Every structure is written in structure tokens, then in C-alpha cells.
Amino acid sequence: MARKRCVQSLIVIVALIAFALPQESRSRENSASAQSLAQKVVENEIRASENDHSLWSFQDTTQESGRKETRTVIQTKDGNLARLIAINGQPLTPEQQKKEDERIQELLKNSSEQRKQQRDQQKDAQQMTRMLKLLPQALLFSYGTRRDSSTQLLFKPNPQFRPHSHEAQVLNALAGEMWVNCKENRIEEITGHLIHEVKFWEGIAGHLDKGGQFHVKQVQPAPEHWLLSVINVQMNGKALFFKTISVRQIESRTQFHQVSNNLTLAQAAQMLLGSKALALVRGGSPK
């Protein structure tokens, strides 16, 4: 009987090992497949941003330090032009509207300020591209659930990754999820949080506290066009990566409409201000 029990135990152990090995192998295969999908999607996002030169107008609402501001934004080949239209949900007063008119008029006269704004916008775009490229290196991806044509990729820090920049340090401290549109290999949304504090140069150059969160979402307002629609950053600490995004900010973009790819700042001003205001900017007189 003892010998029989030993044989039975051996059979059970062998069966468990035989079952476990394929499972472990499949797990590695799934992880490799998820990592490959993340890489493919990131490459497609970067390629799309380089090739898609379409310009759009949209309504942009930001919430920061308890204040909500809504703007109409028009993209041009020379940078974005925005007009404030509401504060905390209330339309601007006539006096505030006048100040906005004057601000836009002054901007069109000030070529150095135009160049500065354009540089800031370009720097943010380049920064975003660099961070996108780092995602498959700084993070380990695995499959989550599915919904319709979308796949959830779960991510956590890659222990083998060695950060070489502040941005890479932050990415390598994140855990969260990324939803991917598998039909077009585009990122629908990313949600993440810092699993530990991040110090830059031992805290001398700033830091971000553990638990900080972010949420970024894209929408598809037209075929082959994907645009950023939500930016929700809730970090505690001190750091500056983007010229136009703070560490505690909620931003939503809606009402997308495509405009001419050759639209200029002056033309955008005409759309925001009207012909009378544009005539004043150009040194003419209202009629």
C-alpha cells in the first residue's frame, strides 16, 4: 500500500509539473506578445504624429487651483491661437472680452512672443514623443481584459530599465493600464500612478510623491485622425516637463472641427475676433 501511495503521489507531482510548465510558457509568451503590441502601438502613434499635419479648432477647458477656464483654440501652421470665453462656467463680461481682443491683437503684433509660444508648443510635442518612445522600455506590459475592438494592457516598472533622464525616472515608477484600439493600433487612454517617490538629483532638482496619478485620453473625431481629449494630472511635488501642463491640472478638449492646413495666425484671429478687430491689428480703422 505504501508503495502504491508513493506511485500515486509521483504521478500527481509529474502531472502538476507537466501542467505548470506550459502555463508558465504561455505566460511568458503572453507577456512577450503584450510587450510587442505596446511597442507596435507606440511606433504607430509616433508615425501618425509625424505624418498627420491636419489642423483643428476645439473648445479647451482647464481646471487648476480651483479655477476653471474655457477657451476656443484654433491650430495654425504657425502655432495655436486661443481666446478665453468663460471663467468658472460664466461668460466673459464686456470688459473681459475687450481685454481678450487686445491681448490677441498685441500677440499678432509681437513676433517674438509668437515665436516663444510656438517653441513652447513644439517643445511639449517633442517631449511627448520622447516619453512615448520610452514606454516599452521603461515598463513591462501584460494583457488585461477586452472590450469590443479594444484591448487592455496592464503595465508596471521594468526592473531592468536604467533611467537616463527625469522623464524616464517618472515612467519607470508607474503602474497602471493602457487601452489600445486594435483595429488601428492607436492608444485610446492611459491611466497610471506612481508606486514610489521620484527624486531628481536626490531631490535638488525636484521630486514627485508616491501615489500621484495621471489620465490621458484620445478621441477619433474623423477617420484616421486621433486627438488628445483629456489630460488629468494629479501629482504632488515639484517638477516641470511640459511648458503648458502643470503637475496638478485637469484639461478636456471637445467640439473638434478640422480647419485648413494652411491657416495662419492672422486668419485664426479673424475667426476669433472678427474683421473689425483684425483691421485694427493691421493698422487699419474699423468700418
> pLDDT of 40-75, one tens digit each?
999 999 999 899 999 999 999 999 888 999 999 999
Question: Could you read off the pLDDT of 133-188 as tens digits, one per residue?
Answer: 999 999 999 999 999 999 999 999 999 999 988 889 999 999 999 999 999 999 99
CA-CA distance, 251 to 188, in Å (whole number)? 16
Cβ(269)–Cβ(108) below 8 Å: yes
Question: For the chain, what is the mean pLDDT?
Answer: 84
Q: What percent of the chain has pLDDT over 70?
A: 79
Residue listed under C-alpha cell 517643445: 123
Are the beta carbons of 1 and 9 closer than 8 angstroms? no
CA of residue 74 relative to chain centroid, distance: 19
CB atoms within 10 A of CB 201: 9
- pLDDT at residue 203 in the model: 56
Instruction: Report whether pLDDT(204) > 70.
Output: no
Amino acid (one-letter) located at 152: Q
Residues of the chain by 3-state class (helix, strand, coil), percent to 5: 40, 35, 25
Q: What is the mean pLDDT of residues 203-226?
A: 87
Helix (H, G, I), strand (E, B) or coil at 160: coil
Q: Give the chain's length.
A: 287
pLDDT surpasses 80 at 276 = no
66 burial (CB, 10 Å; 0-12 / 13-18 / 19+) is exposed
What is the pLDDT at residue 15? Answer: 40
Let me know if 91 is exposed, middle or buried by CB neighbors in 10 A (0-12, 13-18, 19+). exposed
Q: What is the model's pLDDT at position 18?
A: 39
b/e per residue, 231-258, with b = 16+ CB within 10 A?
Answer: bbbebebebebbeebebebebbbeebee
